[in-house]
Chain A
Amino acid sequence: MIAEIGHFTLILALAVAIAQMAVPMWGAHVRDARLMAFGDSAAVTQFGLLIVSFLALTHAFVTSDFSVLNVVDNSHSEKPLIYRISGVWGNHEGSMLLWVLILGLFGSAVAVFGRNLPATLRANVLGVQASIAVAFLLFMLFTSNPFERVDPAPFDGRGLNPILQDPALAFHPPFLYAGYVGFSMAFSFAVAALIEGRIDAAWARWVRPWTLAAWMCLTLGIAMGSWWAYYELGWGGWWFWDPVENASFMPWLAGTALLHSALVMEKREALKVWTILLAILTFSLSLMGAFLVRSGVLTSVHAFAVDPDRGIVILSIMMFFTGGALALFAWRAGALRQGGLFAPISREGGLVLNNVLLSVSCATVLVGTLYPLALEGITGEKISVGPPFFNMTFIPLMLPLLFAMPFGPLLAWKRGDVRGVAQRLAFAAGFAVLFTIIVAAMTGPGPWLAPICAALGLFVLFGAVTDLLSRARFGDVSQAEFLRRVVSLPRSAYGTALAHAGIGIMVLGIVGTSAYQTEKIVALKPGERAEVAGYELLFQGIQPTKGPNYSEQIATFEVTRNGAPVTTLLPSKRLYNAPPQPTTEAGIYASWTGDLYVALGDEQPSGGVALRLYFHPLVRLIWIGAVIMFIGGAVSLSDRRLRVGAPQRARSRPSAVPAE
């Protein structure tokens, strides 16, 4: 019965969403307050229904109700509880339910927290948001229904792909979807504003908290996916430029650009056309990600639904929303008034540079991702656009971006004093270079680009600190006054500095692990030793054990360094019962300087076991940096003005450099 309640509430949510799409927008058109207010109650009700539906499906998974087809296909009674829960979204139908649930969450958040929005704007935003929900609910109910039943029910299920049975993967999709779907808010705001025909600085302030929330979640979601790939796939890589990864990275790049251009729009009413366009494109890129992984175009662990028919439906949804929004945009864009003027060297100029570089890099990733697919579709020829392409195109775009990043927050609006800013940043730059020289001297020769990138990462990190210090007027005022100022700086200023520092830290991790990684492939028999990056590993043998739903071969390594014991590593290979599929669990020892990483390979005819040994210097900084970026976003979101209710705002309060 519970599954049927879930099915019914999903259908009811569709009916409510249809009403929510039509009634408030009509109300905004005829300026009727009651019809517009219907949008609020519909959005909250729709979200409530989707929660019930989602809980019903979760119930079916937790109790292993194999009369629900989706549970049969993706769960197994032996699976531990956490993976029975995460199995709800570890498949196509369930993940679509999570998708619409988050869509409903954002819609109801607008209804609840958006009291400060003009009634017509709110009504239109909710209407547009509901139209997206309608499209996806129809798609679910008619092609991917999670509540389809089977009678008679099989006695047990087919199980969840074992490499998805992992804690990081349990939380990766919810964050990722919160990011993708969160950008639908920016889209809905853009379309609503285009419908109303009035786009101004106030609009930018209203859209920014939503964009920021989406950006935060997407950042963390991508980082979790990367962390998972690092320790689960057994190759020690953290990013593969895989089309699926790119599908999540493109909205991130576009969303980051949007976050910054909305800042200019709020402060100066400039870049209006561009910001609206970015809002539309960012969400379109999110939809494209959904299309790529669900259409069968790609083969990957994410390719839940390898069903071209469903793919065509998602493609149509994407075409409809992108095409419709762009048509509206083309119709209205001419009417937008030009905003404030600014000199090339200014805060605005810096943000434009940021936008240009981010958009071009996003386009680069887009080409690298779609070109091989298009080529294969047209000529049947398979080519692989791998890391070399992206390293050659993406990195050169990132270098100037990183270099310019510390300058941006320090430049004044309208007309900046680049020389003054450079003086302020001299310390940061000097530190970065000095530090790099010292470290380079200690580590010995590496790729020529590595020290440059490391210096840039440090420059960004120290630049963020400089930004905070100069806002608190360090050196200009007494120490007590300085401390008072540090404490009273707006949270958005801390948010900016944290997010930028997070980037700098991440760059250091990327440089460290890409340029200075040590890799060894050896075959060892029990009792033999191997050495990597100063660590001695003694292979003690392999023990078979059993987990809740798998059998496991655990290898034991005693790790020593200069004779002193360090740790015991237990890399393993698992064979899951249902479906019977092997996975690798790497043995990882995390130290301050980097990760010692051991992955088991196949047994050799000679009696030994093949092993991949790595030392990844600083690799953890990549994910630590992402977490710091997430925290930066959260700090910004918690800024006073968001809670005051009236005008909401998110990121750094634009403040200029003191003219001295």
Chain B
Amino acid sequence: MLLWVVLSVLTAGVVGLLLRGYRRGEADVAGAAKADVAVYADQLQQIDLDQSRGLISAAEAESARAEVGRRLLSRAAVVDGPVSAGGQGSSSERILGAAAIAIPMLALALYVSLGSPGLPNLPHEGRTREDAARNQVDAMVARVEERLRAAPEDGNGWDVIAPIYLRMERYGQAAEAFANANRLLGETPKRLAGFAQAEILANNGIVNANAKVAAERLLSAEPGRVDARMWLALANEQDGQFDKALSDYRGLLAAPQMSPAMKEAIEVRISAVEKLARGEAVPPPGPRLAPGTAPEGSVEIPSSPADQQAMIEGMVARLAARLQTDGKDPAGWVQLMRSYSVLGRKDDAAKALTDARRALGADAAALEQVNKAAAEMGIEGAAKGEDKK
């Protein structure tokens, strides 16, 4: 509202200035002839001055005077048309009136279509005050970090800062801090859970060996903990041990203290794992692939495509590593080939097929399953039993 008041006053002022200005200007009309004559008179004066200074000779001065004089005469011969002062009710009055109306109208029309009258000023300084709370946390973190640099074996410092890092989404640092606190102050369920959560989030949702060990210890300290069971189920799923994962998930569904959201997430996992076990493709992970890294929450899939890509590639690498040591798993091989071909890594897919044939060499049924899936996906590996040269 204030803006519109200011703009109205401004516009009124501008129109006033324009109209007032032209009234004042009336008296001051330099006729063209008058102005020209003034210049030539000055030139004549200058010639006199130059001559008196001795800069030009009398003869030169004379011829210059004659030239300027001719200019004066020829200028006088040109008759300028009369200049009207533009009296009352004349056409000039109408033109000026039209301009005084058209200028604000045009400005208003353009501003309404181009401007953003609703947006306030947003100076940076005011906004930092808004974020004062955040700044306090930053300052506190900085203080603790400094202390820890001086005394890296201060378990209490690590214990304080670890959950803050976790909340600030600095997962790698959080995992390290929890690990240090566990080492220096002894393991507690809270620290183990924090470590596992941070470690999983730092690895884009992959439950790695460290996280798995922490989850197992947590479960033995507090049997029945839902978050720990969830992470272990996830670890089994990511390892390609779909049967174990399925029974874990089903067990979780039956557990008490499960929120509806958790149950729903687990059901999504179950149907996904069932498909994976059959060697079918699973649609790209939704935003909540890994349900509940904590009982009350759930892991968000990284929002950036690059992070998602990294997460997927991490899972694939884990599966490949497991199959290298334990190759008697036709469903796992099929999933690996499928992952590679989805990722566009054709050579790796072909290599996976070759490796699968070698690993499953004795098991005709399993070999058949892998070959069939490979044919569907259009993957051609080296012939059975033939090593890569």
Contact = CB atoms under 8 A, between A and B. Distances in A.
Interface stretch (B102-110, B181-189, B252-260, B302-310): B102-110
Interface string B216-253: 00000000000000000000000000000000000000
B368 to A, nearest CB: 56
Interface stretch (A112-120, A244-252, A431-439): A112-120
Interface string A28-70: 0011111111101110110011001000000010011111000
Contacts of A473: 54
B7 interface: yes
Contact of A23 (B95, B104, B119): B95
Interface string B45-89: 010001001111101100110010001000100100111111000
A149 interface: yes
A8 B63 contact: no
A14 B122 contact: no
A438 to B, nearest CB: 35
Nearest to A1: B3
Interface string A63-89: 111110000000001000000000000
B64 to A, nearest CB: 7
A19 interface: yes
A35 B103 CA distance: 16
A340 B70 CA distance: 11
A201 B20 contact: no
A38 B22 contact: yes
B388 interface: no
Contacts, number: 231
A205 B123 contact: no
A1 B34 CA distance: 49
Nearest to A656: B56
Contacts of B119: 3-4, 67, 149, 151
B284 to A, nearest CB: 29
B6 A1 contact: yes
B149 interface: no
Nearest to B86: A34
A23 B123 CA distance: 41
A64 B124 contact: yes
Given A8-B111, A119-B29, A659 B71 contact: no
Interface in A157-188: none
A563 B39 CA distance: 66
B71 to A, nearest CB: 6
A88 B92 CA distance: 40
B36 interface: yes
Which one of A30, A35, A77 has the highest number of Cβ atoms from chain B below 10 Å of its Cβ?
A35
B315 to A, nearest CB: 32
B32 A201 contact: no
* Residues of B contacting A: mostly: helix
A153 interface: yes
A3 B6 CA distance: 13
A3 B30 CA distance: 41
B103 A34 contact: no
Interface residues of B, number: 75
A37 B7 contact: no
A641 interface: yes
A612 interface: no
A200 B6 contact: no
Interface stretch (B10-18, B194-202, B207-215): B10-18
B286 interface: no
A656 B17 CA distance: 48
A149 B3 CA distance: 16
B3 A5 contact: yes
Contact of A34 (B38, B55, B85): B85
A117 to B, nearest CB: 6
A65 B114 contact: no
A362 B121 CA distance: 48
Contacts of A30: 84, 91
A201 B18 contact: no
A655 B33 CA distance: 26
B20 A65 contact: no
A116 B35 contact: yes
Contacts of A156: 124
Contacts of A659: 56-57, 59-60
A653 interface: yes
Nearest to A27: B92
B11 A414 contact: no
Contacts of B17: 41, 44-45, 48
Contacts of A65: 121-124
Nearest to B87: A34
Contact of A33 (B20, B85, B115): B85
A9 interface: yes
Given A1-B2, A4-B117, A659-B60, A16 B30 contact: no
B38 A116 contact: yes
B71 A269 contact: yes
B26 interface: yes
A206 B56 CA distance: 25
A120 B32 CA distance: 7
A616 B249 CA distance: 78
A480 to B, nearest CB: 15
Contacts of B53: 485, 488
Contact of A647 (B39, B63, B84, B123): B39
B344 interface: no
B75 to A, nearest CB: 7
A1 B120 contact: yes
A471 interface: yes
Given A4-B119, A18-B103, A151-B116, 20 more contacts: A5-B3, A8-B115, A27-B92, A34-B86, A35-B22, A38-B22, A38-B25, A60-B121, A63-B123, A118-B31, A118-B32, A151-B119, A198-B78, A202-B40, A340-B67, A412-B60, A646-B38, A649-B42, A656-B50, A658-B54
5 contacts: A35-B95, A60-B121, A156-B124, A201-B39, A647-B43
The 10 closest A-B pairs by CB, nearest first: A41-B21, A37-B25, A64-B124, A118-B32, A63-B123, A34-B86, A202-B39, A67-B122, A647-B39, A659-B57
Interface of A: 1-5, 7-9, 11-12, 14-16, 18-19, 23, 26-27, 30-38, 40-42, 44-45, 48-49, 52, 60, 63-67, 77, 115-121, 141, 145, 147, 149, 151, 153, 155-156, 198, 200-202, 205-206, 268-269, 340, 412-414, 471, 473, 485, 488, 641, 646-647, 649, 653, 655-656, 658-659
Interface of B: 2-3, 6-7, 10-11, 14, 17-18, 20-23, 25-26, 28-36, 38-40, 42-43, 46, 50, 53-57, 59-60, 63-64, 67, 71, 75, 78, 81-86, 90-92, 95-96, 99, 102-104, 106-107, 110-111, 114-117, 119-125, 127
